[in-house]
Structure 1
Amino acid sequence: MKILLLGEYSHLHNTFKKGLEALGHQVILVGDGDGFKNFPVDLSIRPKSSDSYFIKPFRKLIFKMFKFDIALLERGLRFYFYKNQLRGFDIVQLINEKPIKTTPAFERYLLKKVFKNNTKSFLLSCGIDYLSVQFMLNKGFKYSLMNPYFENPQVKNEFQYIFEYTTEAHKKTHQLVYEHCKGVIATDFDYVLPLKGHPLFLGLIPNPVDCESIQQLQLKPENNIKVFLGINRGTYVKKGIPFFEKALEILKTKYPDTLEITIVENIPYNKYITLFDQAHILLDQVYAYDQGYNALEAMAKGKVVFTGAEKEFLEHYKLKEDEVCINALPNVDAIVKKLSWLIENPGEIEKIGHNARAFIEREHHYIKVAERYLESWKKVD
């Protein structure tokens, strides 16, 4: 089959493409590289001109005056120039409701072209979308990345991109996508819960992980326990990073001779994925029910990851608490307690890391996941 993948978040579509190609399918990936992470794509819509030395000052001025980012328009224009190459595909899969990330009206215009010129389209519930935002605002989760806003509405500016999904302009995009897509697939439990009962919901298919290129690293915790924290300033509050930072401050005093901490910020993916190789423990995110992509790739390397692992996730995969990862709660004391347990019981680090790798191979292997997608697509007329 000819398959078109629109958009990229956290290496998901890159890995999925590799699985599909291993099964003999022809795949084209279109995207902007997901910002500073700079993932590879076949057809790039990255707003290079807007980021250039000469244009950037004007971009900032226009945004200051009109609250409009010209990079949005550039992405749409770059996508438009590919229009003749984006037809005749058997399957189109959107990474999100607005995979092109241009202005709302232009997004709908371009998506209509895609839907018209190809056979079947599907949508991933991955990242923020209209239904997940509504679910969070209605407090359907016991906690979510909106918690910092609920606790302090004065930080609303940091959540502006989320509130964009509640506007009438985006609601029109949401409705267009749902009218033309044959089904919606959730990539983890943070997206399953908002979609439960929806007629287009095809179920959960886990994120694909390239287990063959990611090697398990056998690091025995001996004299020092190494903890790694990678910070993306754009998601700093929403991922609950302050909880990790406060916990580490406490632990530095508690274990001055046995704890080694590495913190990095806004690192491109290719560098980030290797920087935590020497760590035993990775601190990923707090406000989640399931693991995101960074957590999964760290688990594939045999790391102990503090991330989402709520009861819905454990029940679905028939796992015990702390079996394959640590459920990071929005509570400094709880994080300190779990990290202290691992520091004082280094054998648990080895055991959980081994279990994590086995879990990724069993549930997230990129070829197995690609096969599940193909089955889901075929079921829908």
Structure 2
Amino acid sequence: MNILLVGEFSRLHNSLKEGLEKSGHNVILIGSGDGFKDFSVDIDVSSKIKKSKILSLINSMFIRFLNLDFIKLENAFYYNQKINQLKGFDIIQLINEDALFTYPKFQIKFLDKLFSQNKDTFLLCCGNDYISVKYALDGKLKHSSMTSYLEDQSQKKRFIYALKYITPPYKKLHHFIYKNTKGVIASDMDYHIPLKNHPHYLGLIPNPINVDKIEYIPLNVNDKINIFHGINSHSSIKKGNKFFTEALYIIKKKYEDKVNIIETTNLPYKEYINIYNNAHILLDQIYAYDQGYNALEAMAKGKVVFTGAEQEWLDHYNLEEDTVAINALPDVNYLVKKLEWLIENPDQINKISKNARQFIETHHDYKEVAKQYLATWQNN
């Protein structure tokens, strides 16, 4: 089959592409590389404005004073330039409802033409969208990426990206996509829970991880324990990074002779994964039920990851608490106690490390996950 994957936020579509190609399918990935993360794409529509400090500054002023984002206009222009190349695909999958990152009216116009000149289209629920944001704002989750906003709505400016999904233009885009696609697939429990029982929902397919490319690194804990905390400033508030930072401050004072702590901000993807290679423990995110892509890749390497590992996730995979990953909660004292437990019981680090790799190989192997996507697409 000829398959077009539209958009990339985390490396999910890259790994899915690699798995699909192993089964003999022809796959093209179009996207921007997601800014500073710089993910690989086959057809590049990355912003020239975003790569220029001066143009980005000017654009920020237009957004602030005129509510006009030239990067979104630029994205619409680049996608429309490529539309005639995007024909003859059996399957199209959008990474998200805002896969093109342009104004909804331009997305609807582009997608209408894209859909008309190809066969079947599917939507991936991966990141914020209309249903997940509304579900969180309605208070139906114990915690979510919207928790900080619900606790303090003076932070509204920090949540503009998420809140846009419940505005009339994006709600219209949501309904257009749902009307013109065969179904929606969730990438993890955080999106599965809001979508349950929705007539358009096709089910959860775990994130694909290329275990052939990611080598398991046995952990040597004879010396200091290395703790890594990589921060993305654009999403730090919704991921709850401040709780990790506060917990690390306490740990550093108490265990200075036993730990090395590394904190980074906004690293490109390749640099990010290289820096955490020597880590024993990786602090990923708070407010999640399941693991995101960074956490899964770190688990594949055998890191002990603090991330979403809620009871719903444990039940789904039939796991016991603290055997594969550490559930990260918005509680500094709790995080400190979990870190102390690992520092004082380094044998647990090795045990969780091996379990984490096995879990990824069992449930997230990119070749097997690609087969799940193929079956879902073909059955719908």
TM-score (norm 1): 0.98
Secondary structure at 1:199 match in 2? coil
Equivalent runs, 1:78-117 vs 2, <5 Å: 78-117=78-117
Alignment match, 1:15: 15
Output the aligned Cα RMSD: 1.0
Equivalents in 1 of 2:149, 2:134: separation in Å?
Answer: 14
Alignment match, 1:169: 169
Residue 56 of structure 1: CA displacement? 3.7
Task: Tell me if the contact between 1:50 and 1:70 (Cα under 8 Å) persists in the aligned partners.
Answer: no
Bigger shift: residues 13-22 or 40-49: 40-49
Structure 2 unaligned runs (5+)? none
Task: Tell me if the contact between 1:50 and 1:74 (Cα under 8 Å) persists in the aligned partners.
Answer: no
Alignment match, 2:341: 341
Task: Tell me if the contact between 2:32 and 2:41 (Cα under 8 Å) persists in the aligned partners.
Answer: yes
Alignment match, 1:316: 316
Change (3 A) 1:313 1:57: closer
Matched AA of 1:89 = F
Matched AA of 2:371 = E
Equivalents in 2 of 1:256, 1:56: separation in Å?
Answer: 41
Equivalents in 2 of 1:254, 1:50: separation in Å?
Answer: 42
Residue 146 of structure 1: CA displacement? 1.4
Secondary structure at 2:361 match in 1? helix
Change (3 A) 1:271 1:130: same
Matched AA of 1:368 = E
Residue 55 of structure 1: CA displacement? 3.5
Equivalent runs, 1:263-282 vs 2, <5 Å: 263-282=263-282
Residue 49 of structure 1: CA displacement? 4.1
Alignment match, 2:132: 132
Alignment match, 1:60: 60
Residue 223 of structure 1: CA displacement? 2.3
Q: Number of aligned pairs?
A: 380
- State the Cα deviation string for residues 174-226 of structure 1 (Å, max 9, x = none): 00000011011000000001101011111110000000110011121112111
Alignment match, 2:72: 72
Equivalent runs, 1:121-200 vs 2, <5 Å: 121-200=121-200
Equivalents in 2 of 1:51, 1:299: separation in Å?
Answer: 32
Equivalents in 1 of 2:15, 2:42: separation in Å?
Answer: 13
Residue 259 of structure 1: CA displacement? 1.2
Change (3 A) 1:143 1:53: closer
Equivalents in 2 of 1:151, 1:53: separation in Å?
Answer: 34
Secondary structure at 1:276 match in 2? helix
Change (3 A) 1:255 1:172: same
Secondary structure at 1:233 match in 2? coil
- State the Cα deviation string for residues 288-344 of structure 1 (Å, max 9, x = none): 000000000000000000000011110111100011000001111110010000000
Equivalents in 1 of 2:42, 2:170: separation in Å?
Answer: 27
Matched, 1:361 2:354: no
Residue 65 of structure 1: CA displacement? 2.4
Matched, 1:258 2:264: no
Residue 87 of structure 1: CA displacement? 1.2
Task: Tell me if the contact between 2:35 and 2:50 (Cα under 8 Å) persists in the aligned partners.
Answer: no
Alignment match, 2:204: 204
Task: Tell me if the contact between 2:281 and 2:305 (Cα under 8 Å) persists in the aligned partners.
Answer: yes
Secondary structure at 1:169 match in 2? helix
- State the Cα deviation string for residues 49-104 of structure 1 (Å, max 9, x = none): 45336644532332232121100010110000101111110000000012111111
Matched, 1:305 2:305: yes
Matched AA of 2:241 = I
Equivalents in 1 of 2:57, 2:304: separation in Å?
Answer: 43
Alignment match, 1:46: 46
Secondary structure at 1:270 match in 2? helix
Equivalents in 2 of 1:55, 1:229: separation in Å?
Answer: 31
Secondary structure at 2:5 match in 1? strand
Secondary structure at 1:110 match in 2? helix
Equivalents in 2 of 1:335, 1:61: separation in Å?
Answer: 39
Change (3 A) 1:103 1:334: same
Residue 149 of structure 1: CA displacement? 1.3
Alignment match, 1:119: 119
Task: Tell me if the contact between 1:45 and 1:76 (Cα under 8 Å) persists in the aligned partners.
Answer: no
- State the Cα deviation string for residues 335-364 of structure 1 (Å, max 9, x = none): 001000000000000000000000000100
Equivalents in 2 of 1:226, 1:88: separation in Å?
Answer: 50
Equivalents in 2 of 1:165, 1:284: separation in Å?
Answer: 25
- State the Cα deviation string for residues 157-181 of structure 1 (Å, max 9, x = none): 1011111001000011000000011
Matched, 1:233 2:229: no
Alignment match, 1:24: 24
